[in-house]
Structure 1
Amino acid sequence: MTRIGRGRRRGATAIKHEAVGSPGRWRAVVGPWLRGLGVVLALAAVGFGVHIGSQKLRDPGAFPLRNVRVEGELRNLTEADLQPLAQEYLGLNFFIANLDDLHTALAANSWVDDVAVRRWWPDTVDIRLRERIAFGYWGEQQDMVDVNGRRFHPTTLRQPGPWPRLSGPDGREKALIKTWQEVQTLFDPIGLKLEKLVQDERRAWWLTFNNGLEVYVGRERFEERLRRLALVYPKVLAAQADRIAVVDLRYVNGFAVRWKAVPPVPTAG
């Protein structure tokens, strides 16, 4: 006798239906939203903390600058020249003090060739500068020229002289410095020191030495004419140098001498 009954079919999958209001259903729907809300709140908290921290760092009364440090070889400048500019920044907030303005003010000094300004934690303004190296005076005013041929007008001059005096057309600064050095090398062995070197608009040369001797070289054969003078001076002119007004070298085989005027001898009565 065969019994026929109702049972589960082999291989079939049972389907479980959850009620709409069950906890699992709510977790599936609300969980991602809650996680997103948590991320948003965490980011907001971080942003708020950064904002508060930034406000604290930028508080004018916080982290005041207290010291100024100057580094560099100073010859015509002193720290006393630089301190007044830097003093204006003492007491300002380390993070917000505008040191670009200080850099501009320092660079405006005629003796400053290069300068860098930076903050040094926790309370220091660090100034590193390179002072301009002067060569001598330029022209008839108080302008000077540095060793790189750049002209400037110094407010102070603390290095002792005497300083060379150069004069020439604009743009000839480097050429005159080079010529000065060559002339001085030529006349050093005979004891003449060059004091003044002039090149006029026609490119003619004038030299003045420390004993008052003036030499007119002209435009042509500059080196040849000066070598002739260096050879002849010790033998012929040195003994009478105090009586010589000008030596003119513009001659092919020699030179001309203009003597100083002899003051008249007063007569009796």
Structure 2
Amino acid sequence: MRFGYRQRRRGATARRQHDTPGSSGAWKAVWRLPLRWLGVALALAAVGFGARFANEKLREPGAFPLRQVRIEGELRNLAEEDLQPVVRGYLGQNFFNADLDALHAALATNPWVEEIAVRRGWPDTIEIELRERIAFGYWGEREMVDVNGHRFQPTELRQPGPWPRLAGPDGHEKDLIGTYQQVHALLDPVGLKLVKLVQDERRAWWLTFDSGLEVYVGREQFERRLQRLARVYPRLLAAQAERIAVVDLRYVNGFAVRWKTGSPNPTAG
């Protein structure tokens, strides 16, 4: 009896041990995936909280102040003191919070700035890379024009001249620059240094040279008339250049001379 009882107890115990793993495995199977996603969610929440906390600390007003400015680019008419008043207000600001887009826009308003890039340089630097506008000469009375035909009004001109003077219709800036270069290349070798080029409202051309000599070319046959001047000036006019006020090239096979003792400007006709 005792032995058989024991056998029954063993059998009952064996059955309980067999049933328990089955119920535990079923429980784990049901909760395994939700628990895994819960762990992932908690981990992401911890990471997000840590990142937010770190971001807030990094962006506190007194943290990581900007302390210096580095400027790259060839400066001819610009100087660092032109940029300092604009940049000074950003020094001391937080490296991550400083609005460098606004700084870029403020610096770009300087008429000498053609292109500019503003960047952060870790850990405390504002890096400014700029390209200064290359002036060609004066345009009209108050403006200048750069080598690309862009007109602008500089606040200060540090680069020494002399600067040629151009004037003409709006939208013809590049044309006048090209014409000036053409006249200079043709007439400078014969002793005529061009200092002023004007195209009036009738599209007629006026040339003024450093000696004070004025040449009226007119609207037509511009290149042909210039070549005529280049031929006759050294032979016929150079010796009397100081007495000549105006040379009028608007003739088919010749030219007219207005002497300084006469009227200073020719009449159209």
Normalising by structure 2, what TM-score? 0.86
Amino acid at match of 1:123: D
Match of 1:76 in 2: 77
Secondary structure at the residue paired with 2:149?
coil
* Cα gap change, 1:33 to 1:137, in 2 (>3 Å): closer
Match of 1:138 in 2: 139
Separation in structure 1 between the aligned mates of residue 59 and residue 239 of structure 2, nearest angstrom: 77
The alignment status of 1:95 with 2:87, answered yes or no, reads no
How far the C-alpha of 1:85 sits from its partner, in A, is 1.0
Q: How many residues align?
A: 248
How far the C-alpha of 1:183 sits from its partner, in A, is 0.5
Secondary structure at the residue paired with 2:93?
coil
Separation in structure 1 between the aligned mates of residue 189 and residue 113 of structure 2, nearest angstrom: 36
Please show how residues 251-262 of structure 1 align to structure 2 within 5 Å. Answer: 251-261=251-261
Secondary structure at the residue paired with 1:186?
helix
Match of 1:229 in 2: 229
Separation in structure 2 between the aligned mates of residue 219 and residue 29 of structure 1, nearest angstrom: 95
Partner deviation per Cα, 1:128-176 (whole Å, 9 max, x = no partner):
000000000011x220000001111111100111110001111111011
Match of 2:267 in 1: none
Match of 1:199 in 2: 199
Partner deviation per Cα, 1:227-258 (whole Å, 9 max, x = no partner):
11111111111111111111111111111111
Separation in structure 1 between the aligned mates of residue 15 and residue 193 of structure 2, nearest angstrom: 115
Secondary structure at the residue paired with 2:76?
coil
Secondary structure at the residue paired with 1:88?
helix
Match of 1:56 in 2: 57
Amino acid at match of 2:73: G
Amino acid at match of 2:206: W
How far the C-alpha of 1:96 sits from its partner, in A, is 1.3
Match of 2:9 in 1: none
Separation in structure 2 between the aligned mates of residue 174 and residue 26 of structure 1, nearest angstrom: 84
Please show how residues 152-163 of structure 1 align to structure 2 within 5 Å. Answer: 152-163=152-163
How far the C-alpha of 1:25 sits from its partner, in A, is 6.6
Amino acid at match of 1:135: F
Match of 1:210 in 2: 210
Match of 1:67 in 2: 68
* Cα gap change, 1:205 to 1:52, in 2 (>3 Å): same
Partner deviation per Cα, 1:181-201 (whole Å, 9 max, x = no partner):
110111121111001101111
* Cα gap change, 1:28 to 1:177, in 2 (>3 Å): closer
Please show how residues 158-177 of structure 1 align to structure 2 within 5 Å. Answer: 158-177=158-177
Separation in structure 1 between the aligned mates of residue 198 and residue 26 of structure 2, nearest angstrom: 101
Partner deviation per Cα, 1:30-79 (whole Å, 9 max, x = no partner):
65554444333222222211111111111111111111000000000001
* Cα gap change, 1:26 to 1:221, in 2 (>3 Å): closer
Separation in structure 2 between the aligned mates of residue 251 and residue 63 of structure 1, nearest angstrom: 75
Normalising by structure 1, what TM-score? 0.86
The alignment status of 1:189 with 2:189, answered yes or no, reads yes
How far the C-alpha of 1:15 sits from its partner, in A, is 8.2
Separation in structure 2 between the aligned mates of residue 26 and residue 174 of structure 1, nearest angstrom: 84
Higher normalized helix content (fraction of residues): 2
Separation in structure 1 between the aligned mates of residue 98 and residue 201 of structure 2, nearest angstrom: 50
* Cα gap change, 1:18 to 1:192, in 2 (>3 Å): same
Separation in structure 1 between the aligned mates of residue 194 and residue 73 of structure 2, nearest angstrom: 31
How far the C-alpha of 1:26 sits from its partner, in A, is 5.8
